Structure 1
Amino acid sequence: MAEKDVIIGLEVHVQLNKLNSKLFCGCSTKYHDAPPNTHTCPVCLGLPGTLPVLNRRAVEYAIRVALALKCDIQGETLFYRKNYYYPDLPKAFQITQYDFPVGLGGKILIKGEDGEEKTIRITRVHMEEDPGRLVHAGTIDRAKYSMVDYNRCGMSLLEVVTEPDLRSPKEARSFLDKLRNILEYLDVFDGDLEGAMRIDSNISLVGGERAEVKNISSHKGVEKALAYEITRQRSARRRGVAQVQETRHYDELRGITVTIRTKEEAHDYRYFPEPDLVPMRIADWVPRVEAELPELPDAKRERFVSDYAIADDHAKSLTSEIRVANFYEDVAKRATPRLTAVWIADVLKGELNYRDVTIDRFRVDDMVEILDMIEKGTITEKGAVEVIRTILDHLGDPSEVDPAGVVEAKGLARAEDDAVKEAVRAAVKECSQAVADYRSGNEKAINFIVGMVMKKTRGRADPGEANRLVKEELERTGRA
Structure 2
Amino acid sequence: MSTATGLSPEVLAKYQAVIGLEVHCQLLTKTKAFCGCKNEYGGEPNTHTCPTCLGLPGALPVLNRQAVEFAVLASKAVNCTINERSVFARKNYFYPDSPKGYQISQFDKPLSEHGHLMVTGPDGQPKKIGITRIHMEDDAGKSIHDGFADSVRRTYIDLNRAGTPLIEIVSEPDLRSADEVFEYLTKLKEILLYTGVSDCNMEEGSLRCDANVSVMLKSDWEARGTAAYGTKAEVKNVNSFRYIRSAVEYEIERQISVIEEGGRVVQESRLWNSAEGRTYSMRSKEEAHDYRYFPEPDLPALIVGEEWLKNILSNLPELPEARRARLTSEYGLNAQDAATLTTDRELGDFFQQAAKLAKSPKRVASILLSEITMRLRAAEIELGQSPVSLNGLVLAADLTEAGEISSKQLKQLLDTCFTEGKDFSAIYERDKPQQISDTSAIEAMIDEVIAANPAQVAQFKGGKRTVSAFFVGQVMRASKGQANPALLNELVIKKLDA
Show CA shifts across 1:352-410 (max 9, x none): 4565543213321221121122022222224334444553x43x7x3x3435526965x
1:177 to 174, 177, 186: 186
List per-residue Cα deviations over 1:99-146 (Å, max 9, x = no partner).
1111110112345565543322211110111112233448xxx99444
Which sits farther off after the overlay, 143-152 or 64-73? Answer: 143-152
In the alignment, which of 379, 382, 394 is matched to residue 358 of structure 1?
382
TM-score, normalized by length of structure 2?
0.80
Question: Corresponding residue for 1:293?
Answer: 316
The CA distance in 1 between the partners of 2:435 and 2:259, in whole Å, is 64
Alignment of 1:248-267 (within 5 A): 248-263=270-285, 266-267=288-289
Contact 1:387 1:403 in 2 (8 A): no
Flag the 1:116–1:50 CA change in 2: closer, same or farther, 3 A.
Answer: same
Change (3 A) 1:59 1:251: same
Q: Residue 246 of structure 1 contacts residue 259 of structure 1 at CA under 8 Å; is this kept in 2?
A: yes
Q: In the alignment, what sits opposite 2:54?
A: 45
SS in 2 for 1:315: helix
Query: 1:283 Cα deviation (Å)?
Result: 4.0
TM-score, normalization: structure 1? 0.83
Q: 2:121, 2:449 → 1: CA distance?
A: 49
What amino acid maps onto 2:194 in structure 1? Y
2:231 touches 2:267 (CA, 8 Å); kept in 1? yes
Match of 1:324 in 2: 347
**1:91 to 1:421, Cα distance in 2 relative to 1, 3 A:** farther
Quote the offset at 1:202 in angstroms. 2.4
- Identity fraction in percent: 39
Contact 1:74 1:283 in 2 (8 A): no
What letter is aligned with 1:5?
Q
Give 5+ residue unaligned stretches, structure 2: 1-12, 218-229
2:402 is aligned with 1:376: yes
Task: Specify the alignment match of 1:339 in structure 2.
Answer: 363
Kindly tell me: are residues 261 and 385 of structure 1, through their superposed partners in 2, closer, same or farther at Cα, counting changes over 3 Å?
Answer: farther
Alpha-carbon distance between aligned partners in 2 of 1:136 and 1:354, rounded to the nearest angstrom? 37
Contact 1:16 1:188 in 2 (8 A): yes
1: CA distance, partners of 2:18 / 2:26 = 26
Distance 1:56 1:264, change over 3 A: farther
Matches within 5 A, 1:215-226: 215-226=237-248
Give the SS at the match of 2:54.
coil
Tell me the CA shift for residue 81 of structure 1.
Answer: 2.0
Which aligned pairs between 1:17-416 and structure 2 lie closer than 5 A? 17=28, 19-30=29-40, 32-112=41-121, 115-137=124-146, 144-192=153-201, 194-207=204-217, 208-236=230-258, 242-263=264-285, 266-284=288-306, 285-336=308-359, 337-353=361-377, 357-362=381-386, 363-391=389-417, 393-394=418-419, 398=421, 400-403=422-425, 405=427, 414-415=435-436
Instruction: Using the TM superposition, give the Cα deviation of residue 322 of structure 1 relative to its aligned residue in structure 2, in angstroms.
Output: 1.6
**Aligned in 2, Cα 1:387/1:49: closer, same or farther, shift over 3 Å?**
same
Work out whether residues 404 and 484 of structure 2, in 8 Å CA contact, stay in contact via their aligned partners in 1.
no
Shifted more, 318-327 versus 441-450: the winner is 441-450
Q: Measured at CA, do residues 289 and 135 of structure 1 come closer, stay the same or move farther in structure 2, by a change above 3 Å?
A: same
Amino acid at match of 1:360: G
- Please identify the structure whose Cα radius of gyration is greater: 2
Change (3 A) 1:274 1:7: same
Which deviations, in whole Å up to 9, do the C-alpha atoms of 1:443-471 show, x marking residues without a partner? 54554554555555555556555544443
Task: Within 5 Å, give how 1:379-458 maps onto structure 2.
Answer: 379-391=405-417, 393-394=418-419, 398=421, 400-403=422-425, 405=427, 414-415=435-436, 421=443, 424=446, 438-448=460-470, 450-457=472-479
Q: 3-state DSSP class of the match of 1:333? A: helix
Q: Indicate if the aligned counterparts of 1:72 and 1:104 stay in contact, CA closer than 8 A.
A: yes
Q: Please provide the CA RMSD for this pair.
A: 3.5
- Give distance in 2, aligned partners of 1:251 and 1:361: 36
CA distance in 2, matches of 1:192, 1:458: 47
- Is the CA contact 2:416–2:427 (under 8 Å) kept in the aligned structure 1? no
C-alpha separation in 1, matches of 2:368 and 2:260? 48
1:307 deviates by 4.1
Q: Could you tell me how far 1:347 is from its partner in structure 2? A: 4.5
Aligned-partner Cα distance in 1 for 2:370–2:124: 20
Tell me if structure 2 keeps the 8 A contact 1:381–1:462. no
SS of the residue corresponding to residue 191 of structure 2 reads helix
Note closer, same or farther for the CA distance 1:442–1:55 as it changes in structure 2 (3 Å cut). same
Quick one: distance in 1 between partners of 2:479 and 2:20?
A: 56
Contact 2:342–2:348 (CA under 8 A) maintained in structure 1: yes
| CA–CA distance in structure 1, aligned partners of residues 452 and 268 of structure 2 | 71
Deviation at 1:22, TM superposition (A): 0.6
Deviation at 1:70, TM superposition (A): 1.6
> CA–CA distance in 1 between the matches of 2:473 and 2:79?
54
Does the 8 Å CA contact 1:96/1:128 hold for their aligned counterparts? yes
Distance 1:414 1:35, change over 3 A: farther
**Which has the higher mean CA deviation after the structures are superposed, 357-366 or 248-257?**
248-257
Structure 1 residue 343: deviation in Å? 3.1
* C-alpha distance 243-332 of structure 1, shift in aligned 2 (>3 A): same
State the alpha-carbon separation in 1 of the partners of residues 124 and 385 from structure 2: 32
Moved more, 163-172 or 308-317: 308-317
C-alpha contact (below 8 Å) 2:437/2:484 kept by paired residues: no
Choose 58-67 or 435-444, whichever is displaced more.
435-444
What is the alpha-carbon distance in structure 1 between the residues aligned to residue 259 and residue 373 of structure 2?
43
Seen in structure 2, the aligned counterparts of structure 1 residues 293 and 266 have a Cα distance that, compared at 3 Å, is: farther
Separation in structure 2 between the aligned mates of residue 245 and residue 390 of structure 1, nearest angstrom: 60
Q: What letter is aligned with 1:8?
A: I
Aligned residues: 465
Amino acid aligned to 1:344: L
Does the 8 Å contact 1:79/1:279 carry over to 2? yes
Distance 1:252 1:390 in 2: 42
* Equivalence for 1:8: 19
TM-fit CA distance, 1:279? 2.4
Amino acid across the alignment from 1:287: K
In 1, Cα distance between equivalents of 2:408 and 2:48: 51
Q: Structure 1 residues 260, 413: CA separation in 2 closer, same or farther (over 3 Å shift)?
A: farther
